[in-house]
Amino acid sequence: MADYVTGDAALDALLRDMAGKVADKAIMSGIRAGLSHVTKAIRGEIPQPSVRKAIGNKLKKYRSGTVVAKVGAGVGPRTRKELGPRGKRPGVGISGRNVHWYILGTKQRTQKKTGRRTGQMPANGAVRRGWAKSESTCMAAIQSKTSAVLTKEMAKLAKG
């Protein structure tokens, strides 16, 4: 990573001065801490437990050095649910595979064979509300975790 933007000028300067791997380790830890704050805030905006489970986060660093951080609906590990016989229950509810219906909403829908109306879902802005509530705590978590990891790594380098 060449550029560091944590919102703290002194921390950014220190990251640039540190060795590459140490700085990368610190910034990745900071981003991970920030993502967990955002994930918790988004989950807090959703009253249904099954939908809450579908909210996750992912942090990935590619060989090119690009870092991609994602948080929201349908991000993270997918879990499969055992489906019983179809005749015994009408549907499976909201899960990671169709959580976008809950977040984005659906238009008026009908069954193809019978033409029976199955209704619509209004959009739920839980992701936007969760991000808005956690934006400042996310940045604070990134700064504090990055500083803590840098301090720890500098102490290790001073001993060795």
pLDDT per position as a tens digit, 78-136: 666 565 665 555 566 777 778 889 999 999 999 999 999 989 999 999 999 999 999 99
Chain centre distance of CA 94: 18
pLDDT at 159 over 70: yes
Give the model's pLDDT for residue 1. 44
The token duo for 55 is: 């909210």
pTM: 0.78
**160 or 87: which leads in pLDDT:** 160
Q: Which two tokens stand for residue 43?
A: 């989950």
Across 17-21, 23-27, 58-62, least confident range: 17-21
User: Could you tell me the CA-to-CA distances from 73 to 15, 56, 149 in Å, in that order?
Assistant: 32, 7, 29
Give residue limits of the domains in the chain: 9-76+94-147
Identify the three-state secondary structure at position 119: strand
